[in-house]
């Protein structure tokens, strides 16, 4: 891997070194490379830069803001040595199988419950599969069993369906009531 030769330093040693990451609100985060590499996007940047990587000048993240990146970093720190997750689905129904989360992960999502969409978007951009799929699962858990009104209220979603459209949906959803 290119990271093994970045700055001429072997991977384990490189993982212990700091890199500066700059978010879209111009906040600088000094992060251990081993933690930052949980993000495949950042890892790719480190690989691409290779020998030319300047650890102090900063890796720019134009699509993530500071407050969210701070939360993402907490996840990366905890998962820096975690194996890749495996996404599975029921072969018959194609419904995705739910992951079992650790107590730490449950607590993490309890703490950042109001930022789930932002976390999922950041995880998507940063390519952190564990954070991405777990956040999606948490979102599914939150919307499960709630009415459309409750979901709109919970996430501040604009109600942009006309009454006619809603009536049509209810008509075609008549099977749900049986």
Contacts with another protein by CB under 8 A lie at 89-90, 92-96, 98, 117, 120-121, 124, 132-133, 136-137, 139-141, 143-145, 147-148, 151-152, 155-161, 165-166, 169-176, 178
Nearer to another protein, 15 or 137 (CB): 137
CB of 94 to another protein, least distance (A): 5
Give, rounded to a whole angstrom, the gap between the first and last alpha carbons of the chain: 57
Q: In sequence order, what are the residues at sequence separation of 6 or more whose Cβ sits closer than 8 angstroms to the Cβ of residue 125?
A: 41, 63, 64
Nearer to another protein, 7 or 124 (CB): 124
CB of 115 to another protein, least distance (A): 11
CB of 119 to another protein, least distance (A): 11
Determine which helix (DSSP H) or strand (DSSP E) holds 18, and give its type and residue range.
strand 18-23
Q: State the Cα angle at 122 between 143 and 56, rounded to 5°.
A: 160
CB of 171 to another protein, least distance (A): 8
Nearer to another protein, 17 or 148 (CB): 148
Contact by Cβ (8 Å): 113, 106: no
Nearer to another protein, 17 or 40 (CB): 40
Q: In sequence order, what are the residues at sequence separation of 6 or more whose Cβ sits closer than 8 angstroms to the Cβ of residue 123?
A: 72, 75, 129, 131, 132, 135
């Amino acid at each position: 891997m290119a990271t093994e030769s970045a700055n001429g330093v072997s991977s384990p040693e490189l993982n212990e070194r700091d890199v500066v990451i700059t978010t879209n609100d111009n906040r600088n985060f000094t992060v251990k490379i081993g933690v930052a590499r949980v993000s495949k996007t950042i890892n790719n940047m480190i690989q691409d830069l290779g020998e030319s990587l300047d650890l102090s000048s900063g890796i720019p993240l134009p699509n993530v803001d500071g407050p969210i990146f701070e939360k993402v970093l907490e996840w990366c720190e905890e998962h820096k040595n975690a194996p890749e997750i495996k996404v599975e689905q029921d072969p018959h129904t194609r419904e995705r199988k739910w992951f079992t989360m650790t107590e730490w992960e449950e607590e993490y999502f309890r703490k950042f419950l109001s930022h789930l969409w932002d976390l999922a978007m950041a995880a998507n951009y940063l390519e952190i599969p564990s954070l991405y799929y777990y956040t999606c699962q948490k979102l599914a858990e939150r919307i499960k069993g709630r009415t459309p009104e409750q979901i709109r209220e919970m996430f501040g979603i604009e109600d942009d369906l006309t009454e006619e459209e809603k009536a049509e949906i209810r008509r075609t959803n008549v099977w749900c009531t049986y």
